[in-house]
Structure 1
Amino acid sequence: MMLEHVLILSAYLFSIGIFGLITSRNMIRALMCLELILNAVNLNFVTFSHLFDSRQLKGDIFSIFVITIAAAEAAIGLAIVSSIHRNRKSTCINQSNLLNK
């Protein structure tokens, strides 16, 4: 696959993630858009790693670390969202005012 195609795909994923993160009113949708952004970054890491030095796996290893951190972020984020939903009966970002007290 050509470099331009991968970079365009990554830019589309990143743009969709940013747009969804900015316009999202649901916490779960915001977490999913954050995962899209991280996947776009991982795609760039792997692409440039194979482009510049295919013998060393620095980009691949770094993307595995990012995937691990994203999985932990998703688990903790979903735990927080389920706790807020249990107490507030809503996952809307506009209605959660937990820090105002």
Structure 2
Amino acid sequence: MDILNLYNELQTYLLIAALLFGFGIYGIIKNRSLIGILISAELVLCAASVNFMAFNRFLAPDPVVGQIFALFIMGLAAAEAAIILSIIIAVYRNYKSIDPEEPVELAG
């Protein structure tokens, strides 16, 4: 199999998405800072986008469907990043740390 045919297979994109998803889940479980957990959650969303675009390219009759889902995921990721960063700032102001185990309960 030559290298050009490798780029034209669904399995290649699914493998890349699975690696991104695995790295994201591992980062969410093992990270010790809230920023690292945020970045890992973005990797999981990126893996979902790669899956949608790959299935869109190879299996969907309408090429717009996967692109709309990918744009929706990008918007969701931006909103998630904004909300989580504001929560991280609030936690840091109260506890002077971004360690996720530091704030046991948040009091309003």
Q: TM-score range by the shorter chain?
A: over 0.9
Of 11, 19, 27, 2:26 maps to 19
Moved more, 79-88 or 51-60: 51-60
Counterpart of 2:94 in structure 1 is 87
Q: Letter of the aligned partner of 2:77 in structure 1?
A: A
Q: How many residue pairs get matched? A: 101
Query: How far off is 1:88 after superposition?
Result: 0.7
Query: How far off is 1:87 after superposition?
Result: 1.3
TM-score, with structure 2 as normaliser: 0.86
Unaligned runs of 5+ in 1: none
Identity %: 37
Unaligned runs of 5+ in 2: 1-6
Deviation per residue, 1:11-38 (Å, 9 max, x gap): 1100000001011121110011000000
Counterpart of 1:51 in structure 2 is 58
Counterpart of 2:4 in structure 1 is none
Structure having the higher helix fraction is 1
Is the alpha carbon distance of 1:99 and 1:79 closer, same or farther for their aligned partners in structure 2, counting shifts above 3 Å? closer
Moved over 2 A (4+): 53-56
Moved more, 66-75 or 48-57: 48-57
Counterpart of 1:37 in structure 2 is 44
Structure with max Cα Rg: 2
Q: Letter of the aligned partner of 2:56 in structure 1?
A: S
TM-score, with structure 1 as normaliser: 0.92
